[in-house]
Amino acid sequence: MESTGIWLVIGILTISTLVGMWMLFEKANRKGWEALIPVYNMIVVLKITGRPLWWIILLLIPVINLIVALGLIVDFAKSYGKTSFPEHAGAVLLSFVIFPYWGFDRNTIYRGQSATEEFHIKYPYRKSAAREWGDAIIFAVVAATLIRSFLLEAYTIPTGSMEKSLLIGDFLFVSKVNYGARIPMTPIAFPFAHHTMPLIGTKAYWDGLVLKYRRLPALEEIERNDVVVFNYPMEADAPFNRPVDKRENYIKRCIAIGGDTLRIINAQVYVNGKKGVNPKFAQKYNTVVSDGTDFNPQKLTDMNIDAQRRSDVDYLFNMTKGQALEIKAWANVKEVKPYIQSASMYDTEIFPKDPAFKWNVDNFGPIIIPKKGWTVKLDSTNIPLYKRAIEVYEGNKVEVINHNQISINGQPANSYTFKMNYYWMMGDNRDNSLDSRFWGFVPEDHIVGKALFVWMSWNTNGTFLSKIRWDRLFMGIK
Side chain identity at residue 32, one-letter code: G
Confidence tier at 1 by pLDDT (50, 70, 90)? very low
Taking each helix axis from N to C terminus, what angle separates 129-150 and 85-93, rounded to the nearest 10 degrees? 20
Other CB atoms within a 10 A radius of the CB of residue 133 amount to 11
Residue 321: what are its φ and ψ, rounded to 5°?
-65, -40
Q: 7 vs 86, which has greater pLDDT?
A: 86
pTM over 0.85: no
Confidence of residue 395 (pLDDT cuts 50, 70, 90): very high
Helix-helix angle 129-150:64-78, to 10 degrees: 150
Query: Above 50 in pLDDT, residue 32?
Result: yes
> How would you label 147-184 residue by residue, b for 16+ Cβ within 10 Å and e otherwise?
eebbbebebebeebbbbbbbbbbbebbbbbbbbbbbeb
Highest mean pLDDT among 162-171, 258-267, 460-469: 258-267
Q: Which residues pair with 258 in a beta bridge?
A: none
Of 58, 50, 55, 99, the closest CA to residue 77 belongs to 99
| 398, 411 Cβ separation under 8 angstroms | no
* Separation of alpha carbons 159 and 433, rounded Å: 9
Work out the angle between the directed axes of helices 40-49 and 64-78 (0-180°, nearest 10). 50
Residue 319 — pLDDT band, cuts 50, 70, 90? Answer: very high
Q: State the amino acid at position 284 in one-letter form.
A: K
Q: Which of residues 74 and 147 earns the better pLDDT score?
A: 74
Which pLDDT score, from 0 to 100, does residue 3 have? 45
> Does residue 2 surpass a pLDDT of 50?
no
Give me the chain's average pLDDT, please: 91
